[in-house]
Each structure stands twice: as structure tokens, then as C-alpha cells.
Amino acid sequence: MLTGRASGILLHPTSLPGPFGSGDFGSDAYRFIDWLATAGQTYWQILPLGETGPGNSPYMSSSAFAGNVLLIDLVELSNHGWLNNEDLTPNPNFQSDRVDYLLVRPFRMERLLRAAKKFFSSGNIDMLRSYTEYCNRQDEWLDDYALFMTIAEREINSVWSHWPNELSRREPHALGKIREDCSDKIGFWKFCQWCFDRQWSQLKLYANKHGVRIIGDIPIFVAYQSADVWAHQELFDLDENGCPTVVAGVPPDYFSETGQLWGNPLYRWDAHEASHYAWWIARLRNALQQADLVRIDHFRGFVAYWEVPANATNAIDGKWVAGPGEKLFDAFEKAFPLMPIIAEDLGLITPDVIELRDKFRLPGMRILQFAFGEGDENLFLPHNYVPNTVAYTGTHDNDTILGWWNTLSGHERFFVQSYLKTDGQNIHWEMMSAISKSKANIVIFTMQDVLGLSGNHRMNFPGHDTGSWEWRFSLKQLLSEYTQALAKMSLRDDRNHGYI
């Protein structure tokens, strides 16, 4: 339940400035937090912090628990003596406005390997103790993750069900041999997660001390090629060979005429219920260690999800199947009484979805770009917002406001101009102002809209396999007039009180 007014910015850490081809937890992340505080913003909303998967999507991670090692600040590693000055010479082909993962990934991974080797040979007792303590605290998932990443690399990244049977079926003697033969590589992956955890914890602490709270993101589904599915096969809908029989998607919608075929394995909810939802509770606990509250993606999938045959080429021929509903959220409420969850209640929303959201007093989402063209009763129009709401100009899946505006029909433009009483010359600020004035207790602006950028700068284009998740900005783009405008808007609309 949201009880106070505030605003914030949606920006994934990969989009931050920085010298090494992609944003990370380095000095520019701290500068961004300083800017948020100066601009009167209380929230920094991020995308999932996990490893990126196919298409570089953070929603298809190799682990629901592990962090993206490409976000590790290399300068901090050099401060410990694990990298030298030569290691910090950027690739001259790095781009300041795009993440070129084909360049960034090998550059960063090579330096992480060097840092791990130096760390383990350093003999620094205090740091080695910190590393060991971290491994012991996280052993519920870390050992499986490190094994999975090690085997996946050794098996040339073939899907885990194609590994030798003794490995795909997790026979103890086979896993023991991997631990013995590949101890250095297993240690490397654990070292990376320790570094990620140390650096993100420090950055989050800095944010909190400066009045900024973190909104995290939990994808409802996990990638098939992940440590979670491999290590907990009994929790997923797989056949005797470990292959999915059905996969996740969504029916035809605003984004796609053929629906979206996500391809994630689906859950055996009866198995989760039998375990009292232990895996889900551990997952949410991990997310709440990284963030102050979390958005759960595709909330409607907990009521009913779109099940598609595993061999389908699109999502048209799927069907709705009942999810766990309130049983899961009863378990969440027992484990986390304050329920710091935002429900991503977008898509085809039926009354039972609203009933589940409201039963647990979860704030829902409203997207202003969805508001125009259906009359004044449209729930996405600001005058229809309720306080327990998080309102957005757009999400990571939407076009920027300027990109959206330039593709509207004449009828839609007329509706927007009439509703906002604007000529459209500053449409991005007019739309930001409209949600800021609303009753929604939290409003979130995308960084692209603050900067007034065109559709060429959107973060994700659903249904497109390439070109997404690459956008970056420069601190030089943060003009003082933008900072002042946000601060004034926050003050005007009573959204400048810090923590909510």
C-alpha cells in the first residue's frame, strides 16, 4: 500500500555513462544518484539486475538470483590491486550512446578473469574472509549457479538438457567431478557474484542515505537455460528428457498481432504449493535485499497465464491456464508482512486480476501512452487514477513520448491536445506534468522522456530480436534546465518529501 507522494526515474544501470562500453556500478552511478536527489526525485526504478540472456534481455537471465557481472565496476577492482592501469584502457570502439555487447562482453569478462586470479593469489585475509562469508550466506543458490555457468561454458553453451545425462540429471558423482576438475572456474563465478553484491550494496546504501529508494523488478518467468530450471527441474513443466512441453507467452495485444512467444518454461504450481512456495519466497527475499520495493512483471500471470505448445511458432494458439492466485500471495504476506510489491497489471486484465491485486492492497500501474482514443472513462487517463497507483509516461517496452507522438493518428493527437490543453510543442513535459499532478502516489518518468529523445532511443521493442536493451545517455545531456524543471514539478505537486 502506497501512502505518500513521490516521483522517480526509470533507468537501467547499463544505460548509465561510463568509459567501458556500458553503464556499471562505478562513479557515474553515484553521480546519477546525486542528480536524482538534486532533481527532487525519490525513486530510481531499474530493470532486473540479473545476467542478460538472448537478445541481451535482462528478462531472460541465467539465474533468478545472480547479478549481471557486466555491471561490476572495474575501477573498484583496480583499487584493490586486482587490475592494473593497462587493464583500464577502454576499447576505442566503445560507444557512448549504445552498448555494443559484442565488444563489451569479452572486454569485461577478460578483466574479471584477471581480477579473480589476482584476488585468489593475493593472500588478503580480510577480503578472502569476506568472500567466504558471502559464499556461505548465499549457498542456497550460489553453488548451483557457479556449477551451471561452468558446465555451460565447458559444453559450449548448449542447452542443459543436451549435456551428458549424468550432468543434465545432476548425478552427485558427476557434479563432484566438475567441482574437483573446475574449481578455479567455479571460484571465478562466485568471485564475480561477491563483487557484484559488494558494489551494488554500497551503491544502494549511498542512494538510501541521499533519500533515494530503489524499485527493483522480478520477471514472473525464468529462462529455460538457467541454473534455476536445471537445479529445480521438479518445479517446472518438463518432460522426461528435461524439455519443456509448454512455454510462456501472451496472446495478441497492443504490441503484436500474433502475440508474444516468450518461450520460458512454465511452473508446476502444485509442486511449489507442496513446498510452501519456498523457491518463490527465497527469490523475493533476494530481490528485496537488492531493492526497497519490487515490481513483479506480468502480475496477471499469477491469476491465469497464456500457455503455448512448446513447438509453436507464435503465441496465437495458446490457452489460458489458472495460476496460483492468492495462495502464493498469502505465503508472501506471511514472509513479508509489509508486501513491498508493485503489481504490473497491464495487458488483458480481467476482474479476478483486479480482485487479487486489491485483496493484498498492491499498487497497480497506469501508463499514460495507453490513455487516449477510448473516451474519458479510460483508466489510464490521469483523472481516473487512484492514490495506490504507480503512474508512468511509458515503460521500457514503450516508445519514448516523442516517438509515440510522431506516430499518432490525427484523431489521437486531437484527443491528446484536447485533454492536456496543449499544442504539442513540449508534449513530453506536458505528459510528465499530467501524471505528476494526478492522485497517483508514485509517478515514474523514463530518462529518455526527461531528455526529450526520439523513438530511436527507446530501450526495448517487444517482438524484435535485435537492437533492444542497448540505449545509453551522457551526463552532458543532463541540462540544468531539466534538473530544475523536475525539482519544481516535484515541489509543485507535493512529491518532494524523500522516503515514502
Is position 9 within any domain? Answer: yes
Checking 134-139 for CB contacts under 8 A at 24+ apart, the result is 134/193, 134/194, 134/197, 134/198, 135/190, 135/194, 138/65, 138/193, 138/197
3-state DSSP of 113-178: HHHHHHHHHHCCHHHHHHHHHHHHHCCCCHHHHHHHHHHHHHCCCCCHHHCCHHHHCCCHHHHHHH
CA distance 112 to 315: 39
**In contact, 448 and 431? CB cutoff 8 Å:** no
In a domain, 459, yes or no: yes
In a domain, 339, yes or no: yes
Neighbours of 304 (CB within 10 A): 17
Question: Does some domain include residue 442?
Answer: yes
Is 327 contained in some domain? yes
pTM score: 0.96
In a domain, 64, yes or no: no
Q: Are residues 382 and 291 in the same domain?
A: no
- Work out whether strand 293-296 and strand 341-343 pair parallel, antiparallel, or are unpaired: parallel
Determine how many CB atoms are found less than 10 A away from the CB of residue 495: 25
Q: State yes or no: pLDDT of 500 exceeds 60.
A: no
Residues 157, 92 share a domain: yes
| pLDDT for 79 | 97
Q: Residue 193: what residue type?
A: Q
Same domain, 164 and 241: no
Please pick, among 253, 326, 397, 412, the residue that the annotation labels catalytic.
397
Say whether both 383 and 324 belong to one domain.
no
Active site includes 197?
no
Q: Are residues 357 and 388 in the same domain?
A: no
Write the pLDDT tens digit of every residue in 233-265.
999 999 999 999 999 998 887 667 888 899 999
356 and 400 inside one domain:
no
Shared domain for 163 and 225, answered yes or no, is no
**Is residue 327 within 8 Å of 273, Cβ to Cβ?**
yes
pLDDT tens-digit series, residues 69-123: 999 999 999 999 999 999 999 999 999 999 999 999 999 999 999 999 999 998 8
Domain end point (choices 361, 388, 407): 361
| Residue 228 sits in the same domain as residue 270 | yes
Same-domain status, 32 and 88: no
Q: Grid coordinates in use for 437?
A: 499532478
Q: Is 344 a catalytic residue?
A: yes
Alpha carbons 408 and 416: distance in angstroms, whole number:
10
Is residue 197's pLDDT more than 50? yes
pLDDT of residue 257: 84
Report whether 142 contacts 190 (CB < 8 A): yes
Indicate the number of domains in the chain.
3
DSSP code for 384: G
Q: How far apart are the first and last CA of the chain?
A: 11
Would you place residue 163 in the very low, low, confident or very high pLDDT band (cuts 50, 70, 90)?
very high
Q: Select from 58, 371, 319, 73 the least CA-distant residue to 203.
A: 73
Q: Does residue 297 carry a catalytic annotation?
A: yes
- Statement to judge: residues 158 and 238 lie in one domain: no
Q: Where does a domain end: 335, 361, 387?
A: 361
Tell me: do 165 and 274 sit in the same domain: no
Number of helical (H) and strand (E) elements in the chain, helices listed first = 18, 12
55, part of any domain: no
Residue 373 pLDDT > 80: no
The answer to whether residue 128 sits within a structural domain is yes
Write b or e for each residue in 139-175: b if 16 or more Cβ atoms lie within 10 A of its Cβ, otherwise e.
Answer: eebbbbbbbbbbbbeeeeeeebbebeeebbeeeeebb
Range of the domain at 270: 216-361
9: cell is 526515474
Determine which one of 144, 228, 297, 430 is catalytic. 297
Q: Show which of 323, 339, 361 is a domain's final residue.
A: 361
Which of 307, 344, 449, 493 does the annotation list as catalytic? 344
What does the pLDDT read at residue 133?
Answer: 98
* 252 shares its domain with 328: yes
